[in-house]
Amino acid sequence: MVVSARLCVVCRGYKRLCGRVKCPILERLRVHLRLSRELRSTHYQSRSGSALVFEARYPSVYVGPQLAVQVVPEYVAFPELMWSLDLDTIVRIRSSTLYSYVRLGTVRARVMDEVRDVALSVRPVLTEVRLRKRPILDLRFDGVTEPIGPRAPLDSISLSENPCIPYSVERLIEELGRTRELVVELYRRGFVHSYIARVVSCGLAGAPHRRRLVPTRWSISATDRVLSDFFVEQVRRFPVGSDYLVSWCRYLGNIYVIVLLPERWGLELIEVWLPSSVWVQVGGEAVVVRYCEYFRSGSVPSDGGYLAVRYAVSRYLYEVQRRQYRGVVLRVVTSEYYSPVGSWQIRESIVRALRSNVVKLTTIDDVLNYVDEVLRPYGRYLRESDFLKAVARQERL
């Protein structure tokens, strides 16, 4: 979202002339003021349960642990647990997460043993780091990964306690030589999405002679793609469902509507970015982006948000419905979503909506009327779905 400097000067953060609920400049200043009092040292000891790999200058990447400074470490290790927290709280959590890094190629280095132990542990590990200089007080935002907080180059790292690494994980890493096999097997053993993505990111998947560090952003999307491919392969073998299923939820200024049509597998995502939301200019028109996958096309969009939706919908069909459906998902991004927090909130929102709030309907007109009733201003965007238009034509015939 581009806002003119003149508008900011006139507004001064309290008139909300840009249309946002909160001024992002003031929010960042508040974070900086708090961090400037807390992060003045080059020596820290805190719990870490996550590692971050930047994709810049790949394969000579930056990699290192993320330390939870005065926040619940489980939120850093497993972002899924943050679902239900408000946006301000999530931004504060991420702003209090210290990222220490070193630059290296995709081969083994001295620091990687400790970083991998942190990533493989199912519980945050008490970690001590020494930095080369004081952390840079800044926040970096991304649409796939969580916001990245203060950061500084790493001098040394040591674990103050033993990591809790399941024996089954170590055995699977040694025995399975393909990334797909490892990812699917970890899912079957009950490990959560964020943990599986960390295993992939730290270069522990695939044939031993081909293992490389994978940037965190890529590993998240890769995990979504591999698991959703597995789910879709199974779903294609199920009989087609008989009812129309509708679910919806609202979280962090995002509105999600999920419609499951009794047809062969397919998926359509319609994203509507309203004026004054993230990435959209002030006073402009809503931006509509569409991604689609057909039963016979074999082509899957590579967008990170779409893959998160694909994972959530296909997992629901595989685990709960055991039937084949064609999905239409509408995501409306409002001005309340002033800071992107990562694709985990897309994934978790749809998973939780489908697990707790599904309505069965009999006709496509019932579906459209229901959506208009519960989400009156935004139902018109759903009517632009190619899948829904095709089904409506079939019913009229």
Dist. CA 388–CA 382, nearest whole Å: 8
Residues 45 and 124 in one domain: yes
Residues 44 and 15 in one domain: no
> What residues contact 286, with CB distance under 8 A and at least 6 apart?
272, 273, 274, 275, 280
Q: What is the DSSP string of 10-36?
A: HHTTTS-TT--SS-HHHHHHHHHHHHH
DSSP 206: S
Please state, rounded to an integer, the average pLDDT across all residues of the chain: 83
pLDDT of res. 107: 46
Residues 118 and 230 in one domain: no
Q: Which residue has the higher pLDDT, 353 or 205?
A: 353
Dist. CA 25–CA 200, nearest whole Å: 35
Instruction: Select from 147, 56, 61 the least CA-distant residue to 99.
Output: 147
Check if the beta carbon of residue 284 is closer than 8 Å to that of residue 302.
Answer: no
Least confident of 25-39, 196-210, 225-239, 269-283: 25-39
Residues 250 and 352 in one domain: yes
> Looking at the 3D structure of the chain, how many domains does it have?
4
Residue at a domain's end among 187, 206, 235: 235
Task: Give pTM, 2 decimals.
Answer: 0.87
Task: Give the containing element (helix H, strand E) for 67.
Answer: strand 61-68
Residues 225-248: tens digit of each pLDDT = 999 999 999 999 999 998 999 999
Dist. CA 57–CA 112, nearest whole Å: 18
The residue written with tokens 């979504």 in the block is 224
Q: Which residue has the higher pLDDT, 33 or 311?
A: 311
Residues 303-330: tens digit of each pLDDT = 889 999 999 999 999 999 999 999 999 9
Q: What is the DSSP string of 36-66?
A: HHH---SEEEEEEEEEEE--TTTTSEEEEEE
pLDDT of res. 9: 43
Residues 229 and 257 in one domain: no
**Which domain does 185 fall in, by range?**
167-235
Residues 335 and 272 in one domain: yes
Greatest mean pLDDT among 31-45, 134-148, 366-380 = 366-380
Q: What is the DSSP string of 238-260?
A: SPBPSSEEEEEEEETTEEEEEEE
Mean pLDDT of 343-350: 94
Task: Give yes or no for residue 22 having a pLDDT over 70.
Answer: no
pLDDT band at 33 (very low <50, low <70, confident <90, very high): low
Q: Which two tokens stand for residue 388?
A: 């829904």
Residues 47-104: tens digit of each pLDDT = 888 888 887 777 778 888 888 877 788 888 899 999 989 988 888 887 778 888 888 7
- Give how far Cα 396 sits from Cα of 210, 363, 365, 383, Å: 55, 11, 11, 16
Task: Give yes or no for residue 262 having a pLDDT over 90.
Answer: yes
Check if the beta carbon of residue 330 is closer than 8 Å to that of residue 272.
Answer: yes
pLDDT of res. 106: 45
Q: Which two tokens stand for residue 281?
A: 């200019």
Instruction: Select from 392, 283, 277, 267 the least CA-distant residue to 330.
Output: 267
pLDDT of res. 286: 82
Residues 177 and 292 in one domain: no
Greatest mean pLDDT among 10-24, 339-353, 368-382 = 339-353
pLDDT of res. 5: 47
Q: Which two tokens stand for residue 256?
A: 């999600």
Check if the beta carbon of residue 263 is closer than 8 Å to that of residue 391.
Answer: yes
Residues 59 and 203 in one domain: no
Residues 52 and 137 in one domain: yes
Residue at a domain's end among 159, 188, 211: 159
pLDDT band at 18 (very low <50, low <70, confident <90, very high): low
Residues 368 and 253 in one domain: yes
Check if the beta carbon of residue 364 is closer than 8 Å to that of residue 392.
Answer: yes
pLDDT of res. 50: 85
Task: Give yes or no for residue 152 having a pLDDT over 60.
Answer: yes
Residues 379 and 359 in one domain: yes
Mean pLDDT of 322-341: 89
Task: Give yes or no for residue 223 having a pLDDT over 90.
Answer: yes
Residue at a domain's end among 96, 124, 159: 159
Task: Give the containing element (helix H, strand E) for 155.
Answer: strand 151-159
Residues 249 and 261 in one domain: yes
Task: Give yes or no for residue 352 having a pLDDT over 90.
Answer: yes
The residue written with tokens 């679902």 in the block is 83
Task: Give yes or no for residue 43 having a pLDDT over 70.
Answer: yes
> What residues contact 127, with CB distance under 8 A and at least 6 apart?
45, 46, 47, 48, 65, 67, 114, 118, 157, 158, 159, 160
